[in-house]
Amino acid sequence: MTDSRTIERGANVRFPPPLVFLGFTLLGVVLRYVVTPIPFPATAWTRLAGVLLLLTGVGIIVSARVWFVRTGQSPIPWKPTPELIVRGPYRFTRNPMYLGITLVQAGLGVALGNVWIALFAPVALLTVHMIAVRPEEEYLARKFGASYQQYRARVRRYL
């Protein structure tokens, strides 16, 4: 029997993942001015490619966010997850918001001609993988059992 005073928690994530990406983006900005900039061909085409990456990332994030709103859930990882979302971008990736923000950071770096920002995008994702994705996966496996395992077997973590 469950105690009615027990409050369900979500994943054991203690730091907001978007702040990891923000921190690495700001580090890239600082390094561009403190360390010699890494040469990068900042042409109209590379800037356009960066903007397209950035917009793709924003589109993925917005699409994922829409599914959170439709199902009445919070994207905050330490809040409980009442149901698995397996529609929208979640049909292709289990972590569309993290994938999207990685693309935003990489696209921003390319669009601005700041290689540091772009190079730190996968580092930010790796950091978020360790501090958020792994605890989220453990939480979802505990809460949803076989249905989460089936979803995991069918859909890739990122790409």
Any idea which residue has 């929208």 for tokens? 88
Contact present, 109 and 39 (Cβ < 8 Å): no
Query: Would you list the DSSP string of 86-124?
Result: -SGGGGT-S-HHHHHHHHHHHHHHHHHT-HHHHHHHHHH
One-letter amino acid for residue 53 of the chain: L
Contact present, 116 and 28 (Cβ < 8 Å): yes
pTM of the entire predicted model: 0.93
Closest CA to 105 of 50, 63, 34: 50
What percentage of the chain exceeds 90 in pLDDT? 89
Residue-wise pLDDT for 12-62, tens only, equals: 999 999 999 999 999 999 999 999 778 888 899 999 999 999 999 999 999
Higher pLDDT, 7 or 47: 47
Least confident of 40-44, 121-125, 142-146: 40-44
Burial class for 155, CB neighbours closer than 10 Å (0-12, 13-18, 19+): middle
32 SS3 class: helix
**pLDDT at 1 > cutoff 50:** no
Residue-wise pLDDT for 71-87, tens only, equals: 999 999 999 999 999 99
**pLDDT at 3 > cutoff 60:** no
Q: What is the pLDDT of residue 32?
A: 92
- Angle among Cα 91, 93, 98 to the nearest 5 degrees reads 135
Least confident of 3-7, 20-24, 36-40, 106-110: 3-7
Q: What span, in angstroms and rounded, lies between the C-alpha atoms of 60 and 57?
A: 5
Q: What is the pLDDT of residue 6?
A: 57
